[in-house]
Amino acid sequence: MHLCVHGLGYVGLATASLFANNGHDVTGYDVDDGVIEAIRTGEPSISDPEFETYVLDALSSGLTASDRPVSADVHFICVPTPYDYEADRANLTYVEQASAAIADVLEPDDVVVLESTVPPGTTQKTLAPILSDSDLSPGVDFDLGYTPETVMPGNTVTEIRTNDRIVGGVDDDSTATIAALYEDIIDGAVHTAPDATTAEFVKLVQNAHRDVNIAYANMLALVAADYGVDVRTAIDLSNNHPRVDILDPGPGVGGHCLPVDPLFLGQDSEETTLIDCARRVNDRMPDYVITRLEDALGTVRGATIAVLGVTYKGNVSDTRNSPGLAIARRLAGHTRSERPLPDGGDNLDVRLHDPVATDPTLALQSQTEALDGADAAVIAASHDQFTDLDPQRVGELLEKRLVVDPLALLDADRWADAGFEVVGL
């Protein structure tokens, strides 16, 4: 079949490559000329070597890029859905634009699949009416449905091929048709939802579940500090119960999914009190890390702080919503925070180092440059390189032997033997 993937970001490129590597003729469409040119020249901007190889294989198997939508048997919508915090709603502009582009080329018996994360009801209430401008009816003249992607950066190739899929259509025939598309090419199971809205709901439930569970661990860190309890020891002991499995606390929650997707559930429902609370807890953690730093230094005014790790999680290059950047920006007074900031932040020198981040807008420094003469270091991402840090070498560079380690990456006893104060959560 001929497939057209609308949106060649992380998810769209993975989806296009999946189908191209399984024998389908795939055209990727994007409005970004830079993205189109990179694909056409065989130089996609990907920091994950395995994923890059997978995309290059797809390009050699027939994946092409276009700066305009094309007719196809199947259309996939894989565009961003940012959250409008002022309006307190998802911004569906990109989904609407992609739907309108498809309506211009839609033909009878085509299939349209939405993969973007969206509020429940989007497929039925937003896509279907726009696509109907083609004078074709969803569920009658063409199939329409939703299936969420669940790939994790750093493990994209494995997960795009092996993760289970949830499929829900606007009618039973649409569900069956879309399910068959995935059954032919993935190793995971394909589960059918009763409708598209349920499938949309499931994706949000999955990410809200993870966010809430992380928030519980982070809340425990805050409470444990009030009692002088080491939170990680308490969690380890608690997890000896056969029905308890508490996660590890950390400096916050980042990425493009967990800090945003749970908010979609509250767009048309007021019954999200727990989710709203979890979001506040996780958003507060960068401030708490700064509080721990201030307590150890006495004050951060006039200090030089090295923030090690500005991606949202270990060993991935994605910096979106990263706790490390939140810590750095709040220290420098560049973003709103719930806690009082140092005077303007201008008297702080905040240095950034990350061995895997690829964001060209960041003024990243080498590890030596970031640490040299700094008063303290904050480790905000669990990169493998940071677990191998040499305390003697770091001690020679830092002005004060102080490291804030909210992820518990370091061997605290080893660093204490080297004269360090290691501050955790």
CA distance 344 to 340: 10
CA distance 333 to 41: 41
CA distance 63 to 182: 18
Q: Which residues pair with 183 in a beta bridge?
A: none
Q: Which helix (H) or strand (E) holds 55?
A: helix 49-60
DSSP, res 117: -
User: In sequence order, what DSSP letters do the residues of 69-88 get, joined into one string?
Assistant: ----SEEEE-----EETTTT
204 CB-contact burial (10 Å; exposed 0-12 / middle 13-18 / buried 19+) = buried
CA distance 374 to 423: 16
Residue written as token pair 């993937």: 5
* Residue 243 falls in which region: left (phi positive, over 0), alpha (psi -120 to 50) or beta: alpha
Q: Does residue 257 carry a catalytic annotation?
A: yes
CA distance 306 to 403: 9
Residue written as token pair 């797809």: 58
Catalytic residue among 4, 78, 257, 313: 257
DSSP, res 92: -
CA distance 74 to 179: 13
CA distance 421 to 2: 60
Determine the angle formed by the axes of helices 49-60 and 10-20, rounding to 10 degrees. 50
DSSP, res 134: G
Say which residues have a Cβ less than 8 Å from residue 43's Cβ, sequence separation at least 6: none
Residues 296, 302, 304, 307, CA torsion sign: positive
| Residue 346: Cβ within 10 Å count | 9
CA distance 17 to 65: 12
Q: Does residue 203 carry a catalytic annotation?
A: yes
Residues 408, 411, 413, 416, CA torsion sign: negative
Catalytic residue among 203, 277, 313, 400: 203
**Residues assigned a catalytic role:** 203, 257
